[in-house]
Chain A
Amino acid sequence: MRYDSVLDMIGDTPLLRLDPAVHGVPDAQILLKLESANPFGSVKDRVAWALLRDHIGEIAEEGRVVLEASSGNTAKALQIIASMHGVGFRAFTNRVRVREVREMLTLLGTDVTEMPGLSECPDPTAPNDVFGVIGDLMDGEPGRYHHTSQYTNEDNLRAHYEQTGREIYRDVGPVDLLVGGLGTTGSTRGAATYLRERNPQTAVVGVVAAEGDFIPGIRSAAEMWEVGLFEPGFYDAITVVDSADAIVASLELATRHGVLAGPTTGAAYAATRERLLSESVAGSRRDGPVTAVVIACDRMEPYLSYFRHRRPDLFGAASDPATAEAAPMAAPEDVEAWIAAGEHVVVVDVRTALAFRAGHIPGAINLRDDLLEQILEAGMPFSEASRVVFACPTGDRSARFAARAAATGRQAYNLAGGVLGWRDSGRPLAGV
């Protein structure tokens, strides 16, 4: 199909029916609304274009800069649309947490202001949320900025009402269950409003991450409740999915259904299956097969580092206990003796930078375990001429590095008793 502008390719995404023999839920058809088919890769393309479509000409003419609170897909889509129109864009976020997303934004030239600790959603109880910062910026230079405000802008909801919801209904008819991750809540609320107008019985389930857990693009239960962003009464259920289940479900979608979807989609799919299965067991289902639609908001590839961080075992970094146990050990006195004998000794402290700064073995270098893991993917950075001693608080986490390095012929050791043992034996620590 031919298009004259990439922006015309936004929307009208496929609705994929999953093979019932594979998903295994009796009397149910599960359909994925493949928002990942949008040209910039996510459901947020619709939102970004809906927020800018009617204003971009004027913004460009007046030379204004677009502002938005986003750390991910919205920022990416807004940046692309802004760039295409010669307009500047700044993203504000409490934190970009996924490496590929950060790199993508950098590549596109996005000016990202990170404000760790501040709430990214408009939070009436926080004096210093990201919204407040954006508000101050706009007040400081009236007329200079355009805030698209995805969390409060009705255009966000409208895009999903007029497009996402309508397309779903057009393709499958009445829907019994709609499930999506809750970020701004725009996609589930907008689409569900349309679907409920056609079928008031449409149940809507919003998926959130467990408190203290992290699934990119969706909020934790506590964030949703605290912020008061959404109307809880709108949803039939708010389901908490933990990141481990979201990852397993993403993998299942990829390997069994051929759908490469991100962890948020995995979370929504997991929640859908669980709900349908429990209804099926409880026999609470109405007559006839049930039609469930899951919003698949983006693709899997941008989350490789997220998968790697949460499931190193899937990337061949299995901490094989036998291997770790095979790590040669070095006692603190061995290390001292080597140094005294003039040998070249590299002590690699695999703790966080804060812990390293607070106190480390004098002369040690700091390579955090997860970063070291990545380095070792690329190769072994240590010289065969050095003795390399890996250290963590107690010795349990550094063992696998010592084992891996030793396996490549390095003179590598795990520090017996860890940094804690070093400290508690009365040896000095250095701080930074």
Chain B
Amino acid sequence: MSARHPLPAARHPIAARLLGDPAAVAGVIERFGSPIHVVFPQVMAENAAALTAVLDRHEVPHEIFYAHKVNASTRFLAQACAAGLGVDVASAAELDRALAAGFAPDRIEATGPKSPALIERIAALGVTANADDLWELDRLAAVAPRGSSVPVLLRLSGFASPLVPLSRFGIDLADVDAALETVRRARGLELRGVAFHLDTADPTARVDALTESMTVVAAAYGKGLRPSVVDIGGGFRQRFVDDPEPFQRYSQALATAAPEELVWPGYDLAAPTAHKYGNHRPATDVLERFLTAEIERRPVAEVLRECMLTLWLEPGKALVDHAGITLASVLYRKRAAGRDLVVVDLSRNQVTPADQEVLVDPVLVNGTGDRPGEGVFLAGRLCLESDLISRRKVFLESEPRSGDVLAFVNTAAYQMDLSASSAGGHPPPPKVAAFLEGERFTFVPDDIHGS
């Protein structure tokens, strides 16, 4: 028997409360079926308030745009709207949902590559266009009604600093002059500001990108444009664990154990996602470290005020961190390939983003059996060898039995929707929003799309 290497997931008190109430969980499964995604809009509200508090404390003029791509939930959209956030949409469908949720066009920003049809709608509505390319800008300039002022952000790329990760998105700094010219000449565009997005927690990388972006602001003023926004995107990290130590021990075990000890044969977990699941610092820390990092020996927060720019952020993961769980029934236990498996009423792609292995353990709700000494592999319900919900052994707190409910914790960020397919005729799990009111949860269906 090999050693146990559990990866306990941090749990928000609301999630912990639901998981600690087996009757409520059973009720959810009974009413909505298995599998089911449960979202907690209240947690999102908390996350938004925490980020806002950091920005307020540092007296930084700001706007937060919820990156809707992180989760298709309409309840999250409604919550973001009610919390006074803006929304960042990445497709025509997301734009429709944002409008339906009540966001006025001036609180909507469109990021990422855009189709001609989407560009036309952006121009017609006056939604802020975060331009990914000169091509987009040209289209936008062509369709923006004369005399209108469709707000434009230039998404920048190609920073000189080696600390700034390379990106496929944005307009290369070398092409910025052409971009500014396009905006200046267009009769219906207004330069709102500059934008970048770095997927890193490193404050110095953002400082470098911010510093380089100021050359674009200077060039814009030089052309008579009036940028007033610097948009630093998202990438503020989720916090999957309370304590990084089990994760570090697990990583060491992965590196030293025979691979088959912990990982299903044929897979390699050598972890590109390691930083993600080992992180125990909240997104507010990443933001705080950026605002207190120094430029010319002065905190970034102060430099931003001096640059007279409003800070825009587009958090997705950080806003829905801990704002959702996924519940699925255990179908049966089995032994195959010399290994213990638990077959679950769920498919890998319905709880796993972009096929990245999730490196925290699910929780067995109301588990009463003994704590198993061995880890188990979680198998999905599809007729695919690759449909393993976990390609690594997970270490559960008690022996799972047929009919038990397994809860995957903190799944609201990308895990629910990014890769979910309907393979095998299994539609993506429905969503339900859970609201804690006093001592009790109420559940509201969250899968009403369109109208």
A359-B208 contact, Cβ under 8 Å, with A222-B289, A354-B307: no
Chain A residues in 8 Å Cβ range of B298: 352
In the complex the two chains form, what is the Cα distance from A243 to B246 in whole Å?
35
Among A97, A117, A351, point to the contact of B208 (Cβ < 8 A): A117
Tell me how far the C-beta of A416 lies from the nearest C-beta in chain B, rounded to whole angstroms.
16
Q: Mark B186-229, 1 if CB is under 8 A from A, else 0.
A: 00000000000000000010011001001101111110101000
Is A211 a contact of B292 with CB atoms below 8 Å? yes
Chain A residues in 8 Å Cβ range of B215: 357-358, 431
Say yes or no: is B299 at the interface (Cβ < 8 Å to chain A). Answer: yes
Tell me how far the C-beta of A17 lies from the nearest C-beta in chain B, rounded to whole angstroms.
38
Is A359 a contact of B308 with CB atoms below 8 Å? yes
Say yes or no: is A419 at the interface (Cβ < 8 Å to chain B). Answer: yes
Say yes or no: is A355 at the interface (Cβ < 8 Å to chain B). Answer: yes
Chain B residues in 8 Å Cβ range of A211: 288-289, 292
Closest residue of chain A to B275 (Cβ to Cβ) is: A125
Is A352 a contact of B306 with CB atoms below 8 Å? yes
Among A358, A420, A428, point to the contact of B214 (Cβ < 8 A): A358
In the complex the two chains form, what is the Cα distance from A359 to B223 in whole Å?
12
Say yes or no: is B303 at the interface (Cβ < 8 Å to chain A). Answer: yes
A97-B297 contact, Cβ under 8 Å, with A358-B217, A359-B217, A431-B218: yes
Say yes or no: is A339 at the interface (Cβ < 8 Å to chain B). Answer: no
Among B163, B220, B305, point to the contact of A117 (Cβ < 8 A): B163
Chain A residues in 8 Å Cβ range of B208: 117
Among A352, A393, A431, point to the contact of B221 (Cβ < 8 A): A431
> For chain A residues 354-389, which have a beta carbon within 8 Å of chain B?
354-355, 357-359, 368
Is B220 a contact of A431 with CB atoms below 8 Å? yes
Say yes or no: is A410 at the interface (Cβ < 8 Å to chain B). Answer: no
In the complex the two chains form, what is the Cα distance from A358 to B295 in whole Å?
14
In the complex the two chains form, what is the Cα distance from A352 to B300 in whole Å?
11
> For chain A residues 69-119, which have a beta carbon within 8 Å of chain B?
97, 116-117
Chain B residues in 8 Å Cβ range of A318: none
Among A351, A419, A423, A432, point to the contact of B226 (Cβ < 8 A): A423
A117-B204 contact, Cβ under 8 Å, with A212-B288, A354-B303: yes
Say yes or no: is A137 at the interface (Cβ < 8 Å to chain B). Answer: no
Closest residue of chain A to B302 (Cβ to Cβ) is: A352
Say yes or no: is B296 at the interface (Cβ < 8 Å to chain A). Answer: yes
Is B207 a contact of A357 with CB atoms below 8 Å? no
Chain B residues in 8 Å Cβ range of A432: 218
Is B303 a contact of A430 with CB atoms below 8 Å? no
In the complex the two chains form, what is the Cα distance from A130 to B214 in whole Å?
27
Q: Mark A208-223, 1 if CB is under 8 A from B, else 0.
A: 0001100000000010
Task: Count how many chain A residues have C-beta atoms less than 8 Å from C-beta atoms of the other chain.
Answer: 26
Most chain B C-beta atoms within 10 Å of own C-beta, residue among A116, A212, A419, A428: A212
Chain A residues in 8 Å Cβ range of B219: 431
Among B204, B207, B307, point to the contact of A358 (Cβ < 8 A): B307
In the complex the two chains form, what is the Cα distance from A117 to B204 in whole Å?
6
Chain B residues in 8 Å Cβ range of A352: 295-296, 298, 303, 306
Most chain A C-beta atoms within 10 Å of own C-beta, residue among B215, B296, B298, B307: B307
Closest residue of chain A to B161 (Cβ to Cβ) is: A117
Is A420 a contact of B299 with CB atoms below 8 Å? no
Say yes or no: is A353 at the interface (Cβ < 8 Å to chain B). Answer: yes
The main secondary structure of chain B at its interface with chain A is helix
Chain A residues in 8 Å Cβ range of B288: 211-212
A351-B306 contact, Cβ under 8 Å, with A117-B207, A211-B289, A212-B292: yes
Chain B residues in 8 Å Cβ range of A359: 217-218, 221, 307-308
Is B221 a contact of A355 with CB atoms below 8 Å? no
Closest residue of chain B to A350 (Cβ to Cβ) is: B306
Among A212, A354, A428, A430, point to the contact of B295 (Cβ < 8 A): A354
Chain A residues in 8 Å Cβ range of B292: 211-212
Closest residue of chain B to A356 (Cβ to Cβ) is: B306
Is A431 a contact of B308 with CB atoms below 8 Å? no
Is A355 a contact of B289 with CB atoms below 8 Å? no
Closest residue of chain A to B214 (Cβ to Cβ) is: A358
Chain A residues in 8 Å Cβ range of B218: 357-359, 431-432
> For chain B residues 310-365, which have a beta carbon within 8 Å of chain A?
none
The main secondary structure of chain A at its interface with chain B is loop
Is B221 a contact of A212 with CB atoms below 8 Å? no
Chain A residues in 8 Å Cβ range of B226: 423, 429
In the complex the two chains form, what is the Cα distance from A140 to B286 in whole Å?
35
In the complex the two chains form, what is the Cα distance from A97 to B208 in whole Å?
19
> For chain A residues 157-212, which have a beta carbon within 8 Å of chain B?
211-212
Tell me how far the C-beta of A228 lies from the nearest C-beta in chain B, rounded to whole angstroms.
10
Most chain A C-beta atoms within 10 Å of own C-beta, residue among B162, B211, B221, B226: B221
Is A431 a contact of B222 with CB atoms below 8 Å? yes
Chain A residues in 8 Å Cβ range of B295: 352, 354
Chain B residues in 8 Å Cβ range of A355: 214, 303, 306-308
Q: Mark A409-431, 1 if CB is under 8 A from B, else 0.
A: 00000000001100100001111
Chain A residues in 8 Å Cβ range of B221: 358-359, 428-431
Chain A residues in 8 Å Cβ range of B296: 352-354, 368
In the complex the two chains form, what is the Cα distance from A424 to B11 in whole Å?
47
Closest residue of chain A to B292 (Cβ to Cβ) is: A212
Chain A residues in 8 Å Cβ range of B224: 428
Tell me how far the C-beta of A209 lies from the nearest C-beta in chain B, rounded to whole angstroms.
12
Tell me how far the C-beta of B302 lies from the nearest C-beta in chain A, rounded to whole angstroms.
8
Chain B residues in 8 Å Cβ range of A420: 308
Closest residue of chain A to B162 (Cβ to Cβ) is: A128
> For chain B residues 263-319, which have a beta carbon within 8 Å of chain A?
288-289, 292, 295-299, 303, 305-308
Is A212 a contact of B289 with CB atoms below 8 Å? yes
Chain A residues in 8 Å Cβ range of B306: 351-352, 354-355, 392-393
Most chain A C-beta atoms within 10 Å of own C-beta, residue among B208, B224, B296, B308: B308
Tell me how far the C-beta of A112 lies from the nearest C-beta in chain B, rounded to whole angstroms.
16
In the complex the two chains form, what is the Cα distance from A428 to B303 in whole Å?
21
In the complex the two chains form, what is the Cα distance from A351 to B295 in whole Å?
12
Most chain A C-beta atoms within 10 Å of own C-beta, residue among B218, B226, B303: B218
Is A354 a contact of B305 with CB atoms below 8 Å? no
Is A419 a contact of B308 with CB atoms below 8 Å? yes
> For chain A residues 279-321, which have a beta carbon within 8 Å of chain B?
none
Is A354 a contact of B211 with CB atoms below 8 Å? yes
Chain A residues in 8 Å Cβ range of B204: 116-117
Chain B residues in 8 Å Cβ range of A351: 306
Tell me how far the C-beta of B363 lies from the nearest C-beta in chain A, rounded to whole angstroms.
28
In the complex the two chains form, what is the Cα distance from A355 to B211 in whole Å?
9
In the complex the two chains form, what is the Cα distance from A368 to B297 in whole Å?
11
In the complex the two chains form, what is the Cα distance from A222 to B203 in whole Å?
13
Tell me how far the C-beta of A182 lies from the nearest C-beta in chain B, rounded to whole angstroms.
19
Closest residue of chain B to A309 (Cβ to Cβ) is: B297
In the complex the two chains form, what is the Cα distance from A432 to B208 in whole Å?
17
Chain A residues in 8 Å Cβ range of B163: 117, 128
In the complex the two chains form, what is the Cα distance from A354 to B211 in whole Å?
7
In the complex the two chains form, what is the Cα distance from A359 to B226 in whole Å?
10
Q: List 17 A-B contacts (CB under 8 A).
A: A117-B163, A128-B162, A212-B292, A352-B303, A355-B214, A355-B307, A358-B218, A359-B217, A359-B307, A368-B296, A393-B306, A393-B308, A423-B226, A423-B308, A428-B221, A428-B224, A431-B218
14 extra interchain contacts, Cβ-Cβ under 8 A, other than A353-B296, A368-B296, A392-B306? A212-B289, A212-B292, A352-B298, A354-B211, A357-B215, A358-B217, A359-B217, A393-B306, A420-B308, A423-B226, A428-B221, A431-B217, A431-B219, A431-B221
User: Which 8 A-B pairs rank lowest in CB-CB distance, beginning with the nearest?
Assistant: A431-B218, A212-B292, A117-B204, A355-B306, A358-B214, A351-B306, A429-B221, A359-B221
